[in-house]
Amino acid sequence: MHRNAAETVMGAVVLIVAAVFLFFAYNTAQVSAVSGYQLTAKFSNANGLKSGGDVRISGIKVGSILAQHLDPKTFQAIVTISLDPTIKLATDSVAQITSSGLLGDEYIQIEPGNEDDLIAPGGTITHTQASMSLEGLIGQLIYNSAQNSGQKKPDAAAAAPAGP
């Protein structure tokens, strides 16, 4: 009977430590959505973005991705974001999709503009830059290498000026 009580106490301690660890991880990871005013942005490619993803300025989380859908007329991805109400963006601000590393999550990075006019709540960020696909970049590199290797290099004798 004594052994069963010790195992029960140890199991309870393990569960308490796990709960404290999960609480700490949740609070430090900034997983919660940022509530604030909504803006939209149109991208030619929103590959890798997820609802609940980060919106950052200078690497600091200032918002969350709320939703994304396809515009049936222009076939662009329309992304709805929520920004902290203390953040006011100029009309020439740029939103770009970037990743936190080679294999990291995609997020929206906003470069604030310098205009005096501000984007109103419910407005649209007009200057956007879509994400760059690693596969597309590698394919372009291979294509360019194949094109350059297929070109003839000028003959050294033909390029030399004729002497007197």
The stretch 131-159 carries a mean pLDDT of 72
pLDDT tens, residue by residue, 69-80: 999 999 999 999
In angstroms, rounded to a whole number, what is the distance separating the alpha carbons of residues 137 and 84?
A: 34
Q: Strands, DSSP E only, in the chain?
A: 37-43, 54-57, 60-70, 77-83, 94-99, 106-111, 124-125, 127-129
pLDDT at 22: 87
pLDDT at 27: 72
With a cut of 90, say whether residue 96 has pLDDT above it.
yes
In angstroms, rounded to a whole number, what is the distance separating the alpha carbons of residues 135 and 138?
A: 5
With a cut of 70, say whether residue 81 has pLDDT above it.
yes
Number of Cβ atoms within 10 Å of the Cβ of 62: 19
Contact criterion met (CB below 8 Å) for 50 and 106? yes
Residues facing 127 on adjacent strands: 94
pLDDT at 159: 52
Lowest mean pLDDT among 37-46, 79-88, 133-142, 144-153: 144-153
**Environment class of 42 (CB within 10 Å of its CB; exposed 0-12, middle 13-18, buried 19+):** middle
Give the pLDDT band of residue 30 (cuts 50, 70, 90). Answer: low
Contact criterion met (CB below 8 Å) for 50 and 64? no
Give the pLDDT band of residue 138 (cuts 50, 70, 90). Answer: confident
The stretch 11-27 carries a mean pLDDT of 88
